[in-house]
Every structure is written in C-alpha cells, then in structure tokens.
Amino acid sequence: MKYMLIMRATDEAYAAFQDVGFLSEAIERVGRFNEEMIKAGVLISAEGLDPAEGVVVDYSAETPVVTDGPYGETKELFGGFWMVDVASQEEAIEWAKRAPMSGPGAKIEIRRVADPDEGPHDNEWVQKERAWRDTTGRR
C-alpha cells in the first residue's frame, strides 16, 4: 500500500529553518532518513516544496480565483512529502515516527494513496487511467 507522509509546519517551525546551520543539519538528517528508506525498499519519492512560490486556485465562486500562495491564511503549510510503499498504515506510522522532524509546529500527516484498481472497473475514465499507467509503467 502506498502512503504519503506529508510534512507540515507552522510559521514558528519555518522560522527555525532561517538559521543556516540548522538548515544544513536538517538537510543532512533528511538525507540520512531518505537513504534509510531507500535501503529498506519503501521509498517511492520524496519532494520538498518551495515555501514562497506558489498560487492558490479557489473554486468557491463561479469563476476560479487565483491568489498568491501557498495558503497564506492557514496556520500550517504543506512543506513536502515522502511517498512510501509499505504493508500497512502501522508501518507508515513507524516510518513517520523516525522522520527527522522536531520542534514546535512540526508535524507529519499520513494519508493512504488510493490504488487505481480500487475504482469501478467498468468506468471509461478509470479504464483509460489504468491503460495509461500500464503503458507508462506508473503505478
């Protein structure tokens, strides 16, 4: 099963990253963690997100409204993620507990990624996505 481990942090946590020494240490700790997951064969991908660049498309109105982002009015930002392929949610939780996250405002949200085979098998669009995945090798 695939799970996304979503890095979340508050402004307070992001402020800690402004210290260059702390940033270098954090990058090294994340690198070691990534290497550990690679060796265990569970890491699918890992990406960090730029905290400053982005936009939000809000669909609340009839015409979507685009504003500068990311998510300026929220208390927490989605800073990056790890995608892992593990046997269970419990295993995903164990990996999240080992992640190099610490300090006030630092969190990891864990979400299961739905498998395309869970969709209705007779739906034209689900069939097209499955065919695309089979053709491109994206699972």
Count Cα atoms within 13 angstroms, Cβ side, for 88. Answer: 3
Domain CATH code at residue 41: 3.30.70.1060
pLDDT of residue 10: 77
pLDDT of residue 120: 80
Range of the domain at 85: 2-136
Q: Where are the strands (E) in the chain, listed by range? A: 2-10, 43-48, 55-58, 65-68, 76-85, 106-113
Q: Mean pLDDT for each consecutive 10-residue tract of the chain (139 residues)?
A: 89 66 77 95 90 83 85 66 96 94 83 83 84 82
Domains: count for the chain: 1
